[in-house]
A and B are shown apart, each in its own frame.
Chain A
Amino acid sequence: MKIQGTGITKVYNQKTVLDIDQFTFESGDFWGIIGPNGSGKSTLLRLISCLTEPSSGKITYELRDKGQAIKRSMTLVFQKPYLLRTSVYNNIAYPLQIRQVHPPEIRQKVEEMLTSFQIESLADQKAWTLSGGEAQKVALARALVFNPELIMLDEPTANIDPGSIMLLEDRLRFHYEKFKPTVLMVTHNLQQTKRLCSKVAFLHEGVIHDQGSIDNVFGPDGTSLVKSFIQQGLI
């Protein structure tokens, strides 16, 4: 899914947190959205996912305005995901249930996800008893199970164990290579960006300061601001 934005601003309490003239995320690209804290990365995802409205400007999806069909074909995974107060199985099945998928197909797809994320043994466990890493696996499985065209991830591997990070990255890469959705991933992890993303956008004080391929942004031709942030370990 191709996403375009023009003249996007977002103002909270008289403070402009986002001010982007124009952006385009082409269909099938895997974008890393990086930048220091408070640079507007999460706000950008919230705007694209229609969780909040821009103060000005317009976002289009495949050149269309947002609508229920568009909203149904995208998802956003938060750093601290909210899991439904039910079993792991039911959590993963939920997006399929609201799309009226036939029960045998739901069972098959959920079981595939449980196996893929190595959480078969947790299927009947209550979601509120899971560890942080397990919860994030369930959240990602739930987001991928309905095969959205646009996947947004807001620091999906922050504060979880290295083993879980490896598995989540692996599953994400596998899903991306198989279905080629558009992926926008906010992260503070530079190495992770290099491992997963094909393109990167650097935000600073609400503005997209630099964007392009990994080699361009992080290479010798990258801007001095990006280099300075990398050297100081701020991203």
Chain B
Amino acid sequence: MENILEGVKDALILLTTLDPEFYTIVRLSLFVSLTATLLAAILAIPAGIVIGIKNFPGRKIIIRIVYTLMSMPPVVIGLIIFLLLLRNGPFGHFSLNFTPTAMIIAQFCLVTPIITGVVINGTKERGQDIRELARTLGASRSQTLWLLIRELRINIMTAVVTGYGRAISEVGAVMVVGGNIRGHTRVMTTTIAMLRNMGEYSLAIATGIVLLLISFIINSLLYYWQQER
């Protein structure tokens, strides 16, 4: 309990003293997770809509694979990406291991199935009705897709927020591919894990509180945007 109270105090100090190293960690955390979520959303939203409304051979097995990947342990994804990016691996010539780019790739792989799965669920429920309405009113293919995105926006927003939440809070994948290098690949979750190993519990709690606070602000902004529309 003492550590938690100390943590709250340290969190306030961290936020108010404008410690440059801490702000570098926060900035990198946001950059990696938001970039990975954005890239995943660009791929996963149309994919989720198409899988949700179209009937094609293999659709059921694809949905099952997506749902399975939604619960893939981050550390396993991290390990696979790490091995693929190893110097003697298939993508070794890019020299991406222990860089923020590798962390973005790992989180992208983690978040894409989550956004796809949530969008598939929402689309299965109302997608067919929306698609048929668009067709009966004379919408083209692109107008139909845009209408689906507009009509399913709350579901899509939920998918993106869920994906972002998974990205910002995971530690396994970014630890494996990033290596928690100070000033280079250290993010908030890897910092918390490191501080815990060092016995710096209150500082670890403080970082966790800041992480929660940032998530709260981002979720509030998205919630506000969603309500406005």
Contact = CB atoms under 8 A, between A and B. Distances in A.
A51 B137 contact: no
B58 interface: no
Main secondary structure of the interface of B (DSSP, over half): helix
B136 A75 contact: yes
Interface residues of B, number: 15
Interface string A21-63: 0000000000000000000000000000111000000000000
B139 interface: yes
B130 A95 contact: no
A50 B139 contact: no
Contact of B137 (A50, A68, A85, A94): A94
B130 A71 contact: no
B137 A82 contact: no
B129 interface: yes
Contacts of B139: 98
Interface in A81-113: 81-82, 84-85, 94-95, 98-99
Contacts of A78: 132
B224 to A, nearest CB: 18
Contacts of A49: 135-136
Nearest to A142: B137
A76 interface: yes
B138 A75 contact: yes
Contacts of A50: 135
A211 B130 CA distance: 33
A99 B151 CA distance: 19
A98 B132 contact: no
Contact of B130 (A73, A77, A82, A142): A82
Interface string B138-168: 1110010001001100000000000000000
B13 interface: no
Contacts of B126: 82
Given A84-B151, A85-B151, A98-B143, A146 B133 contact: no
Given A84-B151, A85-B151, A98-B143, A71 B138 contact: yes
A64 interface: no
A27 to B, nearest CB: 19
B137 to A, nearest CB: 5
Size class of the A contact interface (CB-based, 8 Å): 20 to 34
B2 to A, nearest CB: 50
A93 B126 CA distance: 21
A72 interface: yes
A71 B139 CA distance: 9
A98 B133 CA distance: 13
Contacts of B129: 82
A75 B137 contact: yes
B49 to A, nearest CB: 16
A92 B138 CA distance: 14
A58 to B, nearest CB: 19
Nearest to A148: B138
Contacts of B143: 98
B138 A72 contact: yes
B130 A98 contact: no
Contact of A82 (B133, B138, B150): B133
A146 B136 contact: no
B132 A99 contact: no
A207 B132 CA distance: 25
Contacts of A94: 137
B132 A51 contact: yes
Interface in B61-90: none
5 contacts: A68-B140, A82-B126, A84-B147, A95-B138, A98-B143
Given A74-B136, A82-B129, 19 more contacts: A49-B135, A49-B136, A50-B135, A68-B140, A71-B138, A73-B138, A74-B138, A77-B136, A82-B126, A82-B130, A82-B133, A84-B133, A84-B147, A84-B150, A85-B151, A95-B137, A98-B143, A99-B138, A143-B136
Question: Which 4 pairs show the lowest CB-CB distances between chains A and B?
Answer: A72-B138, A76-B136, A82-B129, A95-B137
